[in-house]
């Protein structure tokens, strides 16, 4: 079952990352989003492109970082793709996400939702990096799980978008709340996953020699 979940997670993350890279490489800016968002995007093109490509890199690299088999076979690769994930993906994608959040479609509800997502993404990434710099694998894993649950907001946002549209709710009504719904449940799931007894790797005695 866990294997199936992992395959689904990889498939969804890669799917949204490829959509982002393909759509923003080959289509005019904003041609695949709501017309009012398109005007915003064109007014802040640099921030949108920086965000889309940097954040897509995080979504692309993130899932592999959680593969313990891959990590044990390729520790050097885990460290380097971890640095690219955190610095190019989360730092650049998060700061540009925070910037475009100030102009997000959907008023203060959407702007505050995306802004808090950006700040939580940046903070959890920083905490994960600081933990591994002091060889604290226990907290590194917990903060990376929290961080990737927020990266996965790009996937849950698009699933929610499909569900609300299929339910016939108008875009202008549900989109502002999507800026909260796309990450709050993910964050709560991460806290539940970390706290449940069955997840041995997150137990206190999982400290090992310096790795990153």
Which residues have C-beta within 8 Å of that of residue 112, sequence separation ≥ 6? 179
Q: How far apart are CA 212 and CA 210, in angstroms?
A: 6
Q: Segment contacting ligand HEM (CB under 6 A): 53-61, 71-79, 162-170, 195-203? A: 53-61
The phi and psi torsions of 33 (rounded to 5 degrees) equal -120, 175
Q: Does the footprint of ligand HEM cover residue 51 (CB under 6 A)?
A: yes
Q: How far apart are CA 185 and CA 201, in angstroms?
A: 22
Supply the minimum distance, in Å, between the C-beta of residue 52 and ligand HEM. Answer: 4
Supply the minimum distance, in Å, between the C-beta of residue 148 and ligand HEM. Answer: 10
Q: How far apart are CA 41 and CA 105, in angstroms?
A: 10
b/e 6-32 (16+ beta carbons within 10 angstroms → b) = eeebeebbeebbeebbebbeeeebbee
Q: Which of 142, 178, 138 is nearest to 158 (CA)?
A: 178
Interface of this chain with ligand HEM, residues 69 to 128, rule: CB under 6 A: 94, 97, 100-101, 104-105, 114, 117-118, 121
Supply the minimum distance, in Å, between the C-beta of residue 131 and ligand HEM. Answer: 19
Supply the minimum distance, in Å, between the C-beta of residue 135 and ligand HEM. Answer: 27
Q: Segment contacting ligand HEM (CB under 6 A): 4-12, 56-64, 125-133, 162-170? A: 56-64
Residue 191 carries which DSSP code? H
Interface residues with ligand HEM (CB under 6 A) are: 16-17, 20, 23, 32-33, 37, 40, 51-52, 55-56, 58-59, 94, 97, 100-101, 104-105, 114, 117-118, 121, 150-151, 153-154
């Amino acid at each position: 079952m866990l294997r199936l979940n992992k395959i689904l997670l990889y498939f969804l993350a890669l799917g949204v990352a490829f959509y982002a890279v393909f759509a923003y490489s080959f289509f005019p800016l904003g041609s695949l989003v709501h017309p009012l968002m398109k005007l915003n995007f064109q007014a802040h093109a640099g921030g949108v492109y920086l965000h889309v490509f940097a954040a897509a890199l995080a979504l692309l690299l993130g899932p592999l970082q959680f593969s313990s088999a891959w990590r044990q076979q390729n520790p050097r690769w885990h460290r380097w793709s971890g640095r690219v994930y955190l610095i190019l993906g989360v730092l650049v994608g998060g700061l540009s996400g925070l910037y475009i959040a100030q102009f997000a479609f959907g008023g203060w509800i959407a702007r505050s939702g995306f802004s808090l997502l950006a700040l939580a993404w940046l903070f959890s990434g920083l905490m994960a990096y600081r933990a591994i710099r002091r060889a604290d694998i226990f907290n590194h894993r917990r903060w990376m799980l929290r961080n990737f649950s927020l990266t996965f907001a790009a996937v849950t946002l698009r699933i929610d978008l499909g569900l609300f549209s299929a339910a016939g709710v108008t875009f202008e009504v549900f989109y502002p709340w999507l800026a909260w719904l796309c990450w709050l449940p993910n964050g709560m799931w991460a806290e539940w996953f970390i706290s449940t007894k069955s997840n041995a790797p997150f137990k206190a005695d999982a400290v090992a020699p310096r790795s990153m």
